């Protein structure tokens, strides 16, 4: 377990709601870090313990060039110390405050990096829920780092989020209305507000009266500045759709003509990796760490295992600090301060095999593309069966399909049912929600109890019957 003795405090960096932020240097590696000091008493008084735990859980599992790094967590009876990446560029908000609106090329680069970070979050089912310039920081190269994951949440499979959170000016209509939402679409809305602010120098939705502000947000009522290009106007309009189902997705954003200009495909390379559990081991840094006095109780294989599993360990902290420093130094030497993802994959000669801890197997660095999903997982839930039938004939069709599929049901509300199989070797319980979208009715089905394979088989049978009865 790490301790504050591993760091030299150099001075204050700032003060937050729950304590100070200090500039420090890691003694063994000489790498500068920022230490966020959180007072337990204040956290308890303000009911923020769960917020801090959530941020720690998310950031400890993430490693992406456009998400702030959390290296170490140190606890004492009175404080929690979060040792984080030092970002001397400050907040994106301060940059906007100083300079006003940004040139379109610069705004596009920032936006591409924000989308890169959000794509990574959504890939692992984490929705940030508080994207705004104050929570977007800049490193020494002027690159984006998404921070403050305290309001983030995991997107439950087949379920919805309901907590209203985030900053009102950047919050999506479904959040301020208290409606349920899937997750990714609220980050898309907030990113659209940020993009507008980068290009305009002011917010699209602003009013001293909260009711008036909310009315503008719900109606997506804003004026598009005359100097915006037609391409970016189209993108912003599609991001700021009041209906979350009609809102553009991240995959669609990445294919948009405005986003594609001056686009570096490696920007999203990190997001394609299908397993969180593997780690690329830099042999040079590993051996350097093994020379530190605190490595005397480890074998090399034990140390490898700790790196792969991101253990909160002093030696792992050394390794990760040195790895990030090496990548930054390589960026400077290669004259490419924009992105370090390519460099991570270029140094294959110093990397050991890819460790796939869930399978107990490994691949050489040459075969890394095998573990890269070219299309990436979906960044939004796919809504269920849709039909253009009127309400009564559609519900009659649904009842007949349930009966044909050997299922029985009871109503929880007018448009929510609990369904189970009448007979069979396995128990299966599901929930069916029926709702209206534009001119269509949509059936969304969620597994409550039973095995996934039986659920999928039943779902296929039910959808086939529904389709045949609806469109034949």
Distance of CA 102 to the CA centre of its chain: 25
Residue 305 known to be catalytic: no
Can you give the three-state secondary structure of 138-207, one letter per residue? ECCCCCEEECCCCCCEECCCCCCECCCCCCHHHCCHHHHCCCCECCHHHHHHHHHHHHHHHHHCCCCCCC
CB 184 within 8 A of CB 379: yes
Q: Residue 393: exposed, middle, or buried by beta-carbon count in 10 A (0-12, 13-18, 19+)?
A: exposed
User: How far does the chain reach from its first CA to its final CA, in angstroms?
Assistant: 65
Sign of CA dihedral 236, 239, 240, 243: positive
CA atoms within 13 A on the CB side of 260: 7
CB 244 within 8 A of CB 182: yes
Tell me the CA distances in angstroms from 63 to 151, 286, 290, 336, one per residue in order.
Answer: 19, 18, 23, 20
How far is the C-alpha of 462 from the C-alpha of 459, rounded, in Å? 5
Catalytic residue among 130, 148, 187, 313: 130
Only one residue has tokens 């299908």, namely 274
CB 347 within 8 A of CB 271: no
Best CA proximity match to 184, nearest among 148, 206, 156, 210: 156
Known binding residue 346? Answer is no
> Beta-carbon neighbour count of residue 360 at 10 Å?
7
> Beta-carbon neighbour count of residue 442 at 10 Å?
16
- The structure tokens listed for 48 are 């923020």
The annotated binding site for ATP is made up of 36
- The set of catalytic residues is 130
């Amino acid at each position: 377990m790490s301790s504050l003795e591993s760091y030299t405090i150099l001075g204050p960096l700032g003060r937050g709601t729950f304590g100070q932020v200090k500039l420090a240097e890691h003694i063994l590696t000489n790498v500068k870090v920022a230490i966020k000091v959180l007072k337990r008493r204040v956290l308890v008084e303000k009911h923020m313990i769960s917020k801090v735990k959530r941020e720690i859980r998310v950031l400890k599992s993430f490693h992406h060039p456009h998400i702030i790094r959390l290296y170490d967590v140190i606890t004492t009876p009175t404080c929690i110390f979060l040792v984080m990446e030092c970002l001397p560029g400050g907040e994106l908000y301060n940059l906007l405050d100083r300079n006003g609106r940004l040139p379109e090329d610069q705004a596009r680069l920032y936006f591409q990096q924000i989308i890169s970070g959000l794509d990574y979050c959504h890939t692992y089912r984490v929705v940030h829920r508080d994207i705004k310039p104050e929570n977007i920081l800049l490193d020494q190269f002027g690159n984006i780092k998404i921070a403050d994951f305290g309001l983030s949440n995991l997107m439950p499979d087949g379920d919805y989020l309901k907590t209203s959170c985030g900053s009102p000016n950047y919050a999506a209509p479904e959040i301020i209305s208290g409606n349920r939402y899937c997750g990714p679409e609220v980050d898309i809305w907030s990113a659209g507000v940020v993009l507008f602010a980068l290009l305009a120098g002011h917010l699209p939705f602003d009013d001293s009266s909260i009711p008036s502000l909310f009315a503008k947000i719900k109606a997506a009522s804003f004026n598009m500045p005359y100097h915006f290009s037609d391409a970016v106007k189209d993108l912003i309009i599609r991001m700021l759709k009041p209906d979350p189902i009609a809102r553009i997705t991240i995959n669609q954003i990445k294919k948009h003509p405005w986003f594609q200009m001056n686009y570096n495909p490696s920007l999203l390379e990190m997001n394609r990796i299908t397993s969180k559990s593997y780690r690329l081991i830099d042999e040079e840094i590993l051996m350097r760490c093994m020379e530190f006095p605190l490595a005397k109780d480890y074998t090399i294989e034990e140390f490898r295992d700790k790196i792969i599993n991101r253990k909160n360990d002093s030696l792992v902290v050394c390794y990760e600090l040195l790895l990030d420093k090496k990548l930054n130094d390589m960026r400077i030497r290669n004259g490419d301060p924009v992105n370090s993802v390519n460099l991570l994959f270029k140094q294959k000669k110093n990397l050991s095999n890819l460790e796939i801890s869930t399978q107990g197997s490994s691949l050489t660095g040459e075969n890394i593309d095998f573990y890269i999903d070219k299309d990436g997982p979906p960044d939004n839930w796919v809504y269920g069966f849709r039909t253009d039938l009127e309400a009564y004939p559609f519900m009659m069709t649904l009842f007949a399909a349930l009966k044909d599929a050997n299922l029985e049901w009871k109503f929880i509300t007018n448009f929510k049912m609990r369904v189970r199989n009448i007979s069979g070797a396995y128990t299966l319980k599901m929930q069916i929600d029926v709702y209206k979208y534009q001119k269509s009715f949509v059936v969304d089905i969620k597994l409550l109890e039973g095995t996934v394979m039986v659920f999928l088989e039943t779902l296929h049978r039910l959808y086939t019957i529904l389709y045949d009865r609806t469109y034949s």
